[in-house]
Amino acid sequence: MITPIYHSLSEKLEEYIHDRGLSGRLPGLGPLSREFGVNQLTMSKAIRLLEEKGLVTINGTRGTFVNEERRSRPVYKVIGLVGVTKLDERDYILDNLEPYAERSGYHLLGITGSMELFATRTQLLTTFPVDGLIFCYSSLTSGIAAYLHSEQIPIIACNRRPDIPWLDTVDFDHDAHYRKIFASLRKLGHRRIAVLTLPVSDEYRHHKEWINSICRKYLGADYADELCYPLPDLGPYPPKREDVRPHVTRLLEYFHSLPEPPTAFIAPSSYVVELKQQLREQGFRIPEDISLISWGSRLPQEFTQIYFDYRKIWLYGLRRMLQLLNRQAEQPEEKLLKMPCIRGESTGPAPSKKKNCQQNQYSNKGGI
């Protein structure tokens, strides 16, 4: 997409106002046009963009006036990313996203402070030298969003937020992903399907409700609340495997105590490796006795999985932010990205009911 000249001109004009500390009435169209080497129509369009941003007020024949309350925030040509703390993710951003930003005249700044701190002292986010903020994972709260919106700082959430209608968001299309998973498992004869869900804060409870509604929609009569297992909060994600181990033991104890245990598990990637190991230690074969499907980070090819490539989310978020900063986005957008389901060796036909009953007897005799 070719950016109109007056878009880039409005940015230069904004820098001009800040760098010279201009206040009150701006020079007229003629002097400004001559100084920037453009015609008056182009300059007029650029000034209109500044008025839309609240930086100036056009007062008929009296001229254009700088809004004092907005004059103090300069243009940095920098976009901040909040919530990225893992080194490999930071390296990806520097190696891949930074060149993309530079082609548009911007740089990236990683902001890795405590989200608890930003939630209680939100004004700190306005002290960073950035023109807009991209919030990764679940780092954006409604309080932070409202404050930054009032400060007219563009923001994007890399997580679905239907409770904030004016917000631009990008997330994975979980509806499409679960539809593929359930269709595949049901085709293989599975009816008792356990779904392990990550813990969510009250701020993101809508996400859990969304997932539960998807399960009900695609499992129909086979859906049961007892098969939806909420995982504990183990701190920063992903948790360490040694922290996951005791919780996997407990969840297997729970599922094997059911009158009719599940024949398939859908689990986050941080749990599914330990889940497979403990099931094998108990005498279960994967996938002959129990099928496993992972979602999240990429795992070895032996697992059937949906790989959530967050790099694509960040790239889309960056593209959208550049549109916002260049005044090329008219309406807020909720973008959902589809990721492929990779077939591995961890899924197979459901075992017969007789075999499943024998497995349950085994676990009740101390196999766990």
Tens of each residue's pLDDT in the chain, 368 residues: 566 888 888 888 888 887 676 778 888 888 899 989 999 999 999 998 888 877 888 887 778 888 866 545 678 999 999 987 677 777 777 788 899 999 999 999 988 777 778 888 888 898 999 999 999 877 788 889 988 987 889 999 988 777 788 899 999 998 899 999 999 999 999 999 999 987 766 666 666 777 788 888 998 888 888 998 888 877 767 788 899 999 999 999 999 999 999 999 999 999 999 999 999 999 999 999 999 999 988 999 999 999 998 889 999 999 999 999 887 877 889 999 998 889 999 999 999 865 554 455 445 434 32
- CATH homologous superfamily for 174-308+341-367? Response regulator (3.40.50.2300)
pTM here is: 0.74
Does the fold of domain 174-308+341-367 match that of domain 78-172+311-337? Answer: yes
The 3-class secondary structure across the chain, one letter per residue, is CCCCHHHHHHHHHHHHHHHCCCCCECCCHHHHHHHHCCCHHHHHHHHHHHHHCCCEEEEHHHEEEECHHHHCCCCCCEEEEECCCCHHHHHHHHHHHHHHHHHCCCEEEEECCCHHHHHHCHHHHHHCCCCEEEECCCCCCHHHHHHHHHCCCCEEECCCCCCCCCCEEEEECHHHHHHHHHHHHHHCCCCCEEEEECCCCHHHHHHHHHHHHHHHHHHHHHCCHHHEEECCCCCCCCCCHHHHHHHHHHHHHHHHCCCCCCCEEEEEHHHHHHHHHHHHHCCCCCCCCCEEEEEECCCCCCCEEEECCHHHHHHHHHHHHHHHHCCCCCCCCEEEECCCEECCCCCCCCCCHHHHHHHHHHHHHHHC
Quick one: pLDDT at residue 360?
A: 52
Q: Which CATH architecture has domain 5-71?
A: Orthogonal Bundle (1.10)
| CB contact at 8 A, 305 and 177 | no
Question: Would you say the C-alpha torsion 199, 203, 207, 213 has a positive or negative sign?
Answer: positive
Domain definitions of the chain by residue range: 5-71, 78-172+311-337, 174-308+341-367
Quick one: pLDDT at residue 70?
A: 54
Question: Does domain 78-172+311-337 sit in CATH 3.30.950.10?
Answer: no
Quick one: pLDDT at residue 172?
A: 92
Q: Measured between alpha carbons, how far is 365 from 368 in angstroms, rounded to an integer?
A: 8
